A and B are shown apart, each in its own frame.
Chain A
Amino acid sequence: MALNKRRFDALIIGAGGAGLNAAVQFANTNARVAVVSKVFPTRSHTVAAQGGVNAALANVMPDNWHWHMFDTVKGSDYLGDQDSIEYMCREAIPTVYELEHNGVPFSRLDNGKIYQRAFGGQSQNFGGAQAARTCAAADRTGHAILHSLYQQNVRARTHFFDEYFAIDLIRDNEGAILGALVLEIETGEPLLIEAKATVLATGGCGQVFRTTSNAHINTGDGMAMALRAGVPLMDMEFYQFHPTGIAGKGMLITEGVRGEGGYLINKDGERFMERYAPNAKDLASRDVVSRAIVTEVKEGRGCGPNGDHVLLKLDHLGEEIIQKRLPGIRESGKIFAGVDAAVEPLPVFPTAHYIMGGIPTDRYGRVIVPHGSGEEVVPGLYAAGEAACVSVHGANRLGGNSLLDILVFGRAAGLHVLDNMEEHHRPMNEDSVDQAMQSLQRWDRKGDGLSVRELRDEFRKTMEDHAGVFRTEEIMSEGVEKIKALRKKMDDVVLTDHSKVFNTARIEALELQNLMDCGIALAASALARKESRGAHSRPDYPDRNDAEWMKHSLYYLEGDRIDFKPVQTKPLTVDSFPPKERVY
Chain B
Amino acid sequence: MKFRISRYNPDVDSEPYMQEFDIEVSRGMMLRDALLEVKRQDETFNFRHSCGEGVCGSDGVNVNGTNKLACITAIADLKEPVEVRPFPGRPIIRDLVVDMSQFYQQYKAVDPWLVREDPMPEQEILQSPEDRDKLDGLYECIMCGCCSTSCPSFWWNPEKFHGPQALLSAWRFLADSRDQATDERLDKLEGPYKLFRCHTIMNCVEVCPKGLNPTQAIGNIKNLMLKKAI
Contacts and interface: CB of A to CB of B under 8 A. Distances in A.
Interface of A: 39-40, 42-45, 47-48, 57, 96-97, 100-103, 105-114, 137, 140, 143-144, 147-148, 151-152, 154-155, 186, 215-217, 249, 251-252, 328, 331-332, 335-336, 338, 451-453, 495-497, 499-505
A215 B40 CA distance: 18
B49 to A, nearest CB: 6
Contacts of A107: 129, 132
Contact of B49 (A109, A216, A331, A495): A216
A154 B93 contact: no
B80 to A, nearest CB: 21
Interface stretch (B16-24, B110-118, B185-193, B215-223): B110-118
A97 B116 CA distance: 14
Nearest to B120: A101
Interface in B102-133: 104, 108, 111-114, 116, 120, 122-129, 131-132
A217 B50 contact: yes
A97 B120 CA distance: 10
A52 to B, nearest CB: 14
B114 A103 contact: yes
Contacts of B127: 108, 112
A353 to B, nearest CB: 13
B113 A103 contact: yes
Interface string B16-41: 00000000000010000000000110
A338 B126 CA distance: 38
Contacts of B9: 499, 501
A173 B135 CA distance: 53
Contacts of A105: 132, 135, 139, 176
Contacts of A453: 39-40, 43
Nearest to B40: A453
A97 B43 contact: no
B72 interface: yes
A43 B11 CA distance: 28
A113 B125 CA distance: 8
B46 A43 contact: no
B175 to A, nearest CB: 10
A140 B140 contact: yes
A108 B129 CA distance: 5
A254 to B, nearest CB: 12
A156 to B, nearest CB: 9
A452 to B, nearest CB: 7
Nearest to B210: A331
A338 B72 CA distance: 12
A335 B54 contact: yes
Nearest to A501: B94
Choose among A103, A110, A500 the residue with the greatest number of B CB atoms under 10 Å from its CB: A103
B51 A47 contact: yes
A155 B113 CA distance: 7
A76 B55 CA distance: 29
B52 A502 contact: no
A59 B58 CA distance: 36
A497 B95 CA distance: 13
A39 B111 CA distance: 22
Contacts of A140: 55, 139-140
7 contacts: A40-B143, A48-B53, A102-B113, A103-B114, A216-B49, A502-B95, A504-B39
A499 B142 contact: no
A189 B44 CA distance: 18
A40 B50 CA distance: 11
Contacts of A217: 50
Nearest to B44: A497
A216 B52 contact: yes
Interface string B86-108: 00000001110101100010001
A354 B100 CA distance: 31
Contacts of B44: 496-497, 499, 505
A43 B54 CA distance: 11
Nearest to B107: A154
B201 interface: no
Contact of B51 (A45, A100, A112): A45
Contacts of B120: 101
Q: Considering the complex of A and B, which 5 residue pairs feature the smallest CB-CB distances, nearest first?
A: A103-B114, A112-B126, A151-B113, A497-B44, A502-B94
